[in-house]
Structure formats: C-alpha cells, structure tokens
Amino acid sequence: MKLSIVIVNYNVEHFLEQALLSVYKALKNIEAEVFVVDNNSVDHSLEMLAEKFPQVRVIANKENVGFARANNQAIRESTGEYVLLLNPDTVVEEDTFDKCIAFMDATPDAGGLGVKMVNGQGEFLPESKRGIPFPAVAFYKLFGLSKIFPQSHKFGSYHLTYLDNDEINAVEVLSGAFMLMRKKTLDEVGLLDEDYFMYGEDIDLSYRILKGGYKNYYFPKTRIIHYKGESTKKGSLNYVHVFYKAMQIFAQKHFSKNNAKLFNALINCAIWFRASLAALKRILSRLLLPFADFALSFAGLFGLATYWNRVVMAGRHSAFPSYYFYWVLPLYILVWILAVWACKGYKHPLKTARANRGVVLGTVAILLVYALLPETLRFSRAVLLLGAMWSLISVNLLRAIAKRLPKKFGGPDQTATRRVVVVGDVDEASRVLSIVRMMDNKCDFWGIVTIREAPTNDNRIIGRISQIQDLLTLYRVNEVIFCSRDLSSEQIIDQMCQLQSSQLEFKIAPEDSVAVIGSSSIFSTETSYTLDVHVITQKRNRICKRIFDIVSSLLLLLFFVVDIWFVKQKNGFIRNIFQVLSGKKSWVGMSNSYSDGALAQLKPGVLHPTDAFKNYQFSEDMLATSDRLYARDYTVKTDLVTIWRGFSHLGRA
C-alpha cells in the first residue's frame, strides 16, 4: 500500500463529502486506503459515508476523543508507506497525491510535506509554511511585528514570509490540515501527542520530525482549498482557551523552564492585548456612524444658525446667546440620534427609512418640549425645522456612502442581496440553481456561465467561462458557484485565485449532492439553513393561514365565473374551494405527508411549495427540502405567491 489517508470528522458532513469526492478523484493512479475517524458527530456523517463512500474505512467513536487521539487510531491501523493527515474541510487537486508522493520518493531526507493552501476566497493561507514558535518568534507574531516587517528573516520567522510562496523550501512546521509523512518516520519519532485535544499537535509532531534528523518541506507545486475553522470558530472563547492550553503544553514539553515561563507570559499578554483591541474595534465600529451623523448634522446646523444670527436676528436687533450654539444645537442633534437609534436606524443592513423615521420622531419630540418652554428659552423654530431638514439630508447621504463601502471598511454585508452565477454544464448548473433559488429568497439575479458550447435560446445562460471576468462586472455578480462535476479542482482553484481581487463569495456544488458549500455558509438539506424550526406550526401563523384560506376561498367563489377559465381541472376546482372553506384542506401544504411531529397537524394542500417554481422538475430530496423551508420560513405572502404562480392547478385532486 502506497498511501494511507486519515480524516477526522466532527459534525461537518457536507465538507467531508466534498473532501472525499476530491480525494477519490486524486487517487486514480495510486494504491491507497482512506480512513475516516468520526468523533461522535450528531449530524448525518455516518449515514452519508455508508451511502456514498462504502469503501472508506470508518472508525466511529462514541465520544469526541480529540484530533490527536482520533488520528492515532487510524494511523495504528494504516498500512501505507506514506500517511496523510487531511482535514475534512479541504479540497485537493486531481494531481496532488501524484506530485507529493513523487517528490517524497525523490527526497529521502523528507520526513514530512505540506502544500500550498488557499482559503475559500482563493487567498493564500500563510500557515502553509511556518516556523517553530520559540518565545522571540511568538513575540514578533503576537505583537504584529511580523506583519510590519514580512521580508525580515528575524521578524517574519513565524509564517516564513520571507520565503517565496511558489518555491519549494525546507520549513519547520507543517499544517495539520495537510500533513504527508513517511510511516517509517512516524515509527521513529512517535505519533501525535494525545495531551493536545485540538491545535498544537501539528507543531509538536513537526518539531519531533526535525529532531529525528528529517526535514519538513513546503511543496507549492500543487494546491488545496482549506476552508478553516468549521469545527471551532476562531473568534470564540473556547478557541482561545483550547489554543492557549495547546501552546502551554508545547512550551512545557520542548522549552527550558525559564523559556516556558516567558512563552506563557507572552501568550497571556497577547491574549489581553488582542482582546482589548477587538473590544475597542467593536465599540468604534458601532459609534462611527452615530458620530458621523452628529458631526455632519452639527456642521450644517451650526452654519445655518450662524447665518440666521447674522442676517435674520441682526435685522431684529437680536442675537442667539452663545450657549445656543454649544449646548442647544448639540442637544437637538442628540435627540435626533437617540430617536434614530430607537427606530433601529443604526442596525445592519442600514435602511434609510428607519433613519428618516427617527429624525421625524425626534423633531416631533423637540417641538412638543419646545411648546412647553418659557418664552425666554424658545429660540428659533425656523432654525429647528430647517435643521431637521438638513439632518434628514445628511443621514441619507451618509447611508448612501456607507452602502457603497467595501464590507471590510464597515460597509454592508454584500450577501444581504445576492447576485449569483453558476459555472458548469447547463444540466448540472440548472440543478444547482434550483437549490439556490429554493434555499434563499434574497437572490436578485442568477445566471449560468457554461464551460462549453450551449443552447443560445436559454435566457439563463449569460456567457462562457472564458468571458467570466467581464460577465461578473457587467451583471454586478457577488457570488460564484462552481459545479465540481464539470470542473476539476485545479480549474476551480485557478478561477478562485484569478478572481480573488473582485471581492466575491465562492462556493462549490459537489456532484450528486444537495449541498452548496462555501467558506462562510452551506446551503443544504441538513444544515442550520434547514433546522426543523417550524414557524408554520406556531399558533399565530396557523390562525393567519386559516384566515387567508377562508378569505381567498370566498374571493375565488365570488369571481368563480372568471377563475374557472384559468384552471385546468375544472371539476375539482369547486370541490377544492368548499373543502378549504370547511377546513379539510389548505390551498398550500406540504409536498409529502407527515404522520408524526409538529407537521402532522397541518392540513393537506391543493398546491405544494414547489408549485411556485414553474418549469422545474424536483427530486425527492428537493421536495423534502422545499417542505422544510416552507415550514421554517412560512408567511402568508408565501401562500399568496404560490397560488398566483400555480393558479392553473387549483383544481388538482
């Protein structure tokens, strides 16, 4: 056996499916075995493996034993000359294993090898090559000196940023996301240290490989996608705790006593330093728009009051007191800002209607108080009203600017409204589009970019892959989905790397899967997008649905003479009206019947959620998906749209 691949899985079913699809495409020329060690996942990972990858050797743990111990379980059973530790949230190129094994065969001093990694946006991941985090190295990294001086051999030694990303080099630390090692080397230096639960074990093993007289190599002649951090979100307190503990273990194990203490002190300082910066950044980001509102409103109001003072008030031989400019005007603006805040005018996504409502309500509040004040404290009502008009203009102007800023500068989340293209052959791209359209109602645009000649009469086709750069600009696309059935992993990674500067969201649709996978989200039938939270079964929604059924039935009955001409099964139409009125049916219901659970109480429907999508043929999986989404996202509007689009089927038996 040439190669043993070990993947540890924990609740990332669809990432695992995609990883295995890419792995088996890359193993066509290699004698290999694949292990998946499941750490007691509660999703459908094991069922998916049994159904789609029966050739995988599965080790199903009854508890989460951690990354190191789980890998060791499979390594002990492996028989390959080489062992590859591979994360489930990765995609490998079709020639990755061929190239890596050829290099290892030709380089006898190589104990381990890592490859060039890119994230889900096609950006190079610096952890593809790393140095040992000795105290000085850790200090330069934790306090930002490595970013300021990336080409310095001294300061850039954590991510070895002074080395070319496209050249083969000996490095110190390999990433546990892709860690290819000789089995002979592991027999000599030992397996992963099980004192580490998660994080740090790859650094520890890399260091032991070096101490065993071997070299670790960074090999950028092939690439993988590594989505990173799906099992543990890196912003969480749990991540900080686990990572810090891992670094403590490494320091105590490999550093002298004094160096270990120094290292732990540095880690503690860095955690507090970064936590303080993160908190300050959050506070400033939340205060930035209110401060801008205040500054722009005050500038306009101050100029207006100054003009009024010099022209109008002077003509009356009067003037505003000095405190009017520095206390009264700021007080007006503060009331407006508080009113905008109360109307959720600072909540993302930013909506000018909320801000306008806040300014109007704030003005009404000021005028009410103004009317109760003594004459000596009533200044100019005209300045107040003109100032309110200026504030309306300024808040709209600032929000218009904010909406055009990139997300990293505090602009809106570009995925709030999605403009999607799917890249692939027409049949597969159509299947993927049906998933996207059913799973998300925020798609403003969708189209297909083909990889070969296609019918020109299909208005969904907007062009070919050779034109993709211009098409993305022309149609203002912010999301690209690649069909892995039709494009190789190498082609997908090439496109992601070429288009990464366009601030796009990239996703991949695995073959024969109901999942569409990206670095920040997964559309599927089994993820948080389709959790069984049945909004439709809530009492308020059941009442609204029943009222809608009755009202719509009466309207259909009232205009029956007209309606009947647009319905195909005319005999069943009148029967369905009276069955809906009597409560035996609903105009819209589930595609499948449910005999237990919360959905069992729902009435059978004349129409189904998929009737809102004309000219689409849906599989059983997609029908089940449509039911889940209908139950989760139900509104009366959903029923209204379904009836409108499926009107001709209202006589269905």
pLDDT digits (tens, 9 = 90+) for 34-79: 999 999 998 889 999 999 999 999 999 999 988 889 999 999 999 9
Classify 586 as helix, strand or coil.
strand
291-316: average pLDDT:
88
Give the integer Cα–Cα distance in Å for 432 and 430. 5
Predicted local distance difference test score (pLDDT) of residue 231: 42
Instruction: Determine the distance from the C-alpha atom of residue 443 to the mean position of all C-alpha atoms in its chain, rounded to a whole number.
Output: 16
Predicted local distance difference test score (pLDDT) of residue 529: 32
Tell me: pLDDT of 628 over 80: no
State the pairing for strand pair 178-182/110-118: antiparallel
In this structure, of 138-147, 467-476, 576-585, the range with the lowest mean pLDDT score is 138-147
Predicted local distance difference test score (pLDDT) of residue 50: 94
How many helices (H) does the chain have, and how many strands (E)?
23, 18
Place of tokens 């009836």: 643
Give the integer Cα–Cα distance in Å for 57 and 49. 9
Give the integer Cα–Cα distance in Å for 568 and 586. 19
Predicted local distance difference test score (pLDDT) of residue 232: 44
The neighbouring-strand residues paired with 228 are: none
Tell me: pLDDT of 470 over 60: yes
Task: Report which of residues 363 and 601 the model is more confident about.
Answer: 363
Predicted local distance difference test score (pLDDT) of residue 333: 92
Predicted local distance difference test score (pLDDT) of residue 483: 94
Tell me: pLDDT of 526 over 50: no
Tell me: pLDDT of 96 over 50: yes
CA distances from 350 to 286, 443, 651 (A): 12, 18, 44
Task: Report which of residues 161 and 246 the model is more confident about.
Answer: 161
Give the integer Cα–Cα distance in Å for 258 and 244. 18
Tell me: pLDDT of 467 over 80: yes
- In the numeric block, which tokens belong to residue 475? 């149609």
Tell me: pLDDT of 556 over 70: yes
Tell me: pLDDT of 86 over 90: yes
Place of tokens 């499948």: 592
State the pairing for strand pair 522-523/516-518: antiparallel
Within 8 A by CB and 6+ apart from 164, the residues are: none
- Burial label for 365, CB within 10 Å (0-12, 13-18, 19+), is middle
Place of tokens 């019947």: 593
pLDDT band at 236 (very low <50, low <70, confident <90, very high): very low
DSSP letters spanning 49-107: HHHH-TTSEEEEESS---HHHHHHHHHHH---SEEEEE-SSEEE-TTHHHHHHHHHHH-
Q: How many residues does the chain have?
A: 653
Give the integer Cα–Cα distance in Å for 624 and 254. 54
In this structure, of 110-119, 443-452, 562-571, 594-603, the range with the lowest mean pLDDT score is 594-603
Count other Cβ atoms within 10 Å, centred on residue 470. Answer: 10
Rounded (5°) CA angle 117-121-125 = 30
